[in-house]
Amino acid sequence: MAGSIWERFTHDPRDQDNARLRAADRDRDVVNDLLGTAYSEGRLTPEELDERSDRVINARTLGELPAVIDDLVAPSGSTTPVVRDNRAEAERRYLRQRQEALWTFLTPTLICWVIWSATMFGGFPWPLFVMIGTGIQLLRVATSRESTIQSIEHDLEKKERKRLEAKQAKEPGQKPAVADDTPDGGQMNWG
């Protein structure tokens, strides 16, 4: 994956005119992909990855993103050639999903138990319904680790394939990566 990482952004965040523009999810994904690769290569510690990931999430403008990765990108603007480790990225995203599921379970559950204990202590424990409703997602995430990681890994590979196909389609003289198998050359026959 040699090439300029800056080409993957919606607009080059190093350009002063673009620095003030709002960052898109796609721009944050570019930085997170690079952070995940650097982490899987051992260039970032778990703490550094968490700190930088938080900075990416909180970034509002494109101009805030280059500082997060400036020590991970070669001065020429290209990343070092690496084989993308989708497994490590998938495991990182799974851990984030599990953490989100835990907080989605704990927050409403605790709030409901506090309300119940303050108002109806001794009555029917209705917060159990909240626990069941929010606990289903937590249970699903916690018990399906491997299948969730494989699903995320598949999605990452699909995303990378689409990105490469789009890049290949932009290059002059290249055929599209996906051939059209329809007998009429892609034309719809309505009659």
pLDDT classification of 172: cutoffs 50, 70, 90? low
d(CA 176, CA 167): 10
Q: State the average pLDDT for the chain.
A: 80
Exposed/middle/buried for residue 61 (C-beta within 10 Å: 0-12, 13-18, 19+): middle
Instruction: Find tokens 């196909």 and name the residue.
Output: 165
Rounded mean pLDDT of 127-151? 89
Q: How far apart are CA 64 and CA 19, in angstroms?
A: 8
Least Cα distance to 78 among 34, 25, 17 occurs for 34
List the one residue out of 96, 126, 94 whose CA is nearest residue 109. Answer: 126
Task: For residue 191, name the pLDDT band (cuts at 50, 70, 90).
Answer: very low
Q: Is 98 exposed, middle or buried (0-12, 13-18, 19+ CB in 10 A)?
A: middle
- Indicate the pLDDT class of residue 13, thresholds 50, 70 and 90: confident
- Picking from 56, 43, 63, 66, the residue whose alpha carbon sits closest to that of residue 96 is 56
Residues 106-114 have a mean pLDDT of 92
- pLDDT tens, 18-62? 889 999 998 999 899 899 888 888 888 989 999 999 999 999 998
CA–CA distance, 154 with 151 (Å, rounded to integer)? 5
Burial 9-19 (b: 16+ CB within 10 A, else e): beebbeeeeeb
pLDDT tens, residue by residue, 67-85: 899 888 876 544 443 335 6
